[in-house]
Structure 1
């Protein structure tokens, strides 16, 4: 696996082949050769690709077990606040009842 800071890529070869597929200059062998080197290589992609990074502190694994990890980046509190916040109209109604 390749790692850069807090992002770990489990199948770098598969991703490289997918991203470079439209370019016939990149074969599986040429990708492996470049990846085996210790020096970084920057490659212009044929077209822009979106990158979506998921940050999960709870998930169900393939054995259907619920897993939890520490929220080292402290995103859960803000996410919970946004997910479970009442719409403004409901907040005002609740406040006026109190």
Structure 2
């Protein structure tokens, strides 16, 4: 199983149903040394803002989210859902677990 740290839309059950075909089981976790920022992406209906995580190396910067157990195939579904503006990276959580999370491609 793979761990996926979600801090935005992937925490929503209706999104999970659409992306994975099921509601994921998760536990609250904290990501340390990161902040949430926004990127602007041009969509077919206009410019939209989307959250991204950005490393700061500052232990006082934290993001609260959820960690979900997923299969490798489900991670690939999440990659497709997040699209070409995001990439999946490994992050270290406050609990010392590692998980995948999405950030913007720079």
TM-score (norm 2): 0.22
TM-score normalised by L of structure 1: 0.23
Rg bigger for which structure? 1
Structure 1 or 2: larger strand share? Answer: 2
Larger RCO: 1 or 2 (CA < 8 Å, sep 6+): 2
